[in-house]
Amino acid sequence: MSAAGLPVSGWRRRGAAIEVAAQGGVVGAVAGIVCAVAWSVGLRGLLARPGLDASRAEIARFYSDHADGGHVGLLLALMVIGTVAYLWFVGVVRSRLGARESRLVGTVFLGASVLLTGLVLVAASALAAPSILLDVSRQAPDPGAAALFRALAAAELSVFAARIATLVMFSTASLGLRTGAFPRWLVVVTYVVGVAEFVNVTLAEPTLYVFPAWIALVSVVLLVRRPELAPEGPPPSS
């Protein structure tokens, strides 16, 4: 027995819980930062090969002068790494909320996150498909088909994925507000950015990096803000 009347094993369990929670915050922060960097670099590289506003002549010239399937494969690998890191980030955020998480909002948060990762990977595949075809079959893709693939990816990223990302942000802000797991200023910033992203109807490329930037911001908060643990109750009687 300790001086406070709590068994030594109870103190050890308490210390282990604090250590696991602290490590979870670090892991979540690292995973979020990896996701933000990997998605940003991967999308930037895929969207620049060639630009979304390139003409048919520019597309034909690009694929006739570049056999870069291997480079595109590396960019796709970055997208996969970012997706895995994002799912890990989601798991750590939910673990920080613990039993305080609302089942309704938590289900929306998890479902939107899974749907978002699917949209991102499909869009990345559409952007990379012409270069993969060039690398595999050694024949340049039709400029019209390549432009269509890139337009499909732009619609998925700027219309569908962007709206699902706002659903992730709104549900995260709601969970943070209900549970106090995140500072109030982060909740306000998340709502403001989410509303601005939701009403945005343009296909501008810079808007695609808003969500990765938000993930990086939440990751920094996870890294510097210590998790609040509920006090441990008395041990059950034998």
Q: Write down the pLDDT at residue 237.
A: 47
Residues of the chain with pLDDT under 50: 2-4, 6, 8, 11, 14-23, 229-238
Opening angle at CA 35, ends 87 and 197, nearest 5: 90
DSSP state of 70: H
Q: How far lies 114's CA from each of 10, 104, 107, 167, 237, in Å?
A: 38, 16, 11, 12, 42
**Please, is 202 exposed, middle or buried when counting C-beta atoms within 10 Å of its C-beta (0-12, 13-18, 19+)?**
exposed
Q: Residue 22 in contact with residue 227, Cβ under 8 Å?
A: yes
Cis omega (within 30 of 0) for bond into 227: no
**Please, is 82 exposed, middle or buried when counting C-beta atoms within 10 Å of its C-beta (0-12, 13-18, 19+)?**
buried
Q: Write down the pLDDT at residue 101.
A: 67
Gap between the terminal Cα atoms of the chain: 15
178 SS3 class: helix
* Measured distance CA(225)–CA(212) in Å, rounded: 20
Going from N- to C-terminal start, the domains of the chain cover 10-224
Q: Write down the pLDDT at residue 236.
A: 45
Q: Write down the pLDDT at residue 125.
A: 92
